[in-house]
Structure 1
């Protein structure tokens, strides 16, 4: 269900990729003023032209984000776009707000950390909502979406990849699994989706199946799986032939281009409920 801020103002905590821009455009189309905070080295600078105001911070500067929102009178905000895990480890500049959150954690896994961040914002009067509350149209539909129909062997690889991805997500490690002819070639960890696909392709050769799905315990406010034309480019590099996404819970970036590119490359794209 879409949230409608009563004061006509929405906050945006922007990470990398296209999702922050899509969110800002969708919010503006609903007549909302977007107050954005962007992360240096991660967020696309083009976001500045899509929002009412933009504050730049470094990863970990929680107090700066909260101060920017409080000063602008923001009561609701969404987190859109990821933060590269390697860069987060090497370039984070945690302030006292981050230290306050970390000191309460028993686990440093992604889900626990993001829920703790949301709780801290809410304790300061800022409710964190799901970006898809404004972007339901970008969620992956169910069924065959582009490219050749799945072969029986590929369908079996999709099923295996989904089973392994559920276990991977349950451990809060990653969302992507690469499979080929019944063999699991790569699991996504700190390196991210693109590098997991490259590693799997190098190990298994052409024909790999790439599966992305939500963690079983996924909080839909944070870190939904996403795929776009960039994902297909990496798959083409290594000769991967199938991309299977979780329907209704995966964000499609530039969907028309994604579908067209999949058809042109002969890559099968499916949404699995």
Structure 2
């Protein structure tokens, strides 16, 4: 872990935010929380409310705190107007018309201008990154492993187009991809497809795959899965969840694995080939 200093923590949505704050304080960091969304569980932190429409105020607060490092944690989403404002402030209007991967790179570039390094959440909270191979106790047979590999490769290809980080496959066919609605909405859609008999009633087993995008910064917007992901996957009839080794965050690792084991879902970590 990076030596503790003064940490500006940009907080999005999700359970990982308070866990990261607690772990950072335990490690000796002095923290200033900047929050993208109102969160009652952060009231004690007196968070600085981030307005994407005023990125200058965000940078001013980071400077005022005399931050030595910045960490971004939790789900972060921008409207089209917010994306345009952010990109214009950074001097690259064309980025606003591109996907989240380009915006992540732009955010990293802004901090570089400030002379502040990113700290990845995985450097603060231990045991977060997905390992290689079988993660839970549910094994995958040869056919399921073949489908998992196909899904993983397809997710990487989708990422190269700067689409979402996740998709669902049935056998050798991509049936749904993540869009602006996020992972949960993708899995809810697949549950509806399953209930309508459109998927899951043939020989092709359903696999959910989630990976980072090629060229995506390691410290910004890494893919994350947790117990809720597993529960929604189970409702959709998913038989395996395949994740990118070393680049996917396991939120509430023990609970997530227990949920997958109980649902009979295989958890598999795979290594991405060169981008």
SS at match of 1:210: strand
Change (3 A) 1:25 1:105: same
- Of residues 8, 11, 16, the one that matches 2:13 is 16
CA shift for structure 1 position 136: 4.3
- Of residues 258, 270, 274, the one that matches 1:260 is 258
Partner of residue 68, structure 1 = 61
Superposition pairs of residues 93-104 of structure 1, within 5 angstroms: 99-101=88-90, 103-104=91-92
SS at match of 2:94: coil
- Of residues 20, 25, 30, the one that matches 1:28 is 25
CA shift for structure 1 position 11: 0.8
Q: Is 1:200–1:208's contact at 8 Å kept on the other side of the alignment? A: no
SS at match of 1:138: coil
SS at match of 2:234: helix
Partner of residue 80, structure 1 = 73
Partner of residue 104, structure 2 = 114
Question: Which structure 2 residue ranges, 5 or more long, are not aligned?
Answer: none
Q: Is 1:62–1:98's contact at 8 Å kept on the other side of the alignment? A: no
SS at match of 1:159: helix
User: What TM-score do the two structures reach when normalised by structure 2?
Assistant: 0.86
Q: Is 2:104–2:216's contact at 8 Å kept on the other side of the alignment? A: no
User: What TM-score do the two structures reach when normalised by structure 1?
Assistant: 0.86
Superposition pairs of residues 190-229 of structure 1, within 5 angstroms: 190-201=180-191, 202=193, 203-205=198-200, 207-229=205-227
Report the number of matched residues: 261
Kindly indicate whether residue 42 of structure 2 is the aligned counterpart of residue 47 of structure 1.
Answer: yes
CA shift for structure 1 position 163: 1.3
CA shift for structure 1 position 245: 0.9
Tell me how large the CA RMSD over aligned residues is.
Answer: 2.3
Q: Is 1:161–1:179's contact at 8 Å kept on the other side of the alignment? A: yes
CA shift for structure 1 position 121: 2.9
**Farther-moved stretch of structure 1 (126-135 vs 221-230):** 126-135
Q: Deviations over 1:147-189 (max 9, x none)?
A: 4211222111111111111111111111112011222111112
Kindly indicate whether residue 136 of structure 2 is the aligned counterpart of residue 146 of structure 1.
Answer: yes
How many Å separate the matches in 1 of 2:176 and 2:249? 22
SS at match of 1:78: strand
CA shift for structure 1 position 92: 3.9
Q: Is 1:59–1:94's contact at 8 Å kept on the other side of the alignment? A: no
How many Å separate the matches in 2 of 1:122 and 1:216? 21
Q: Deviations over 1:136-155 (max 9, x none)?
A: 42111222122421122211
Q: Is 1:179–1:200's contact at 8 Å kept on the other side of the alignment? A: no
SS at match of 1:11: strand
How many Å separate the matches in 1 of 2:57 and 2:200? 47
Question: Which structure 1 residue ranges, 5 or more long, are not aligned?
Answer: none
**Which ranges of 4 or more aligned residues in structure 1 deviate by more than 3 Å?**
58-61, 90-95
Kindly indicate whether residue 167 of structure 2 is the aligned counterpart of residue 177 of structure 1.
Answer: yes
SS at match of 1:137: coil
- Of residues 106, 120, 124, the one that matches 2:114 is 124
Change (3 A) 1:109 1:27: same
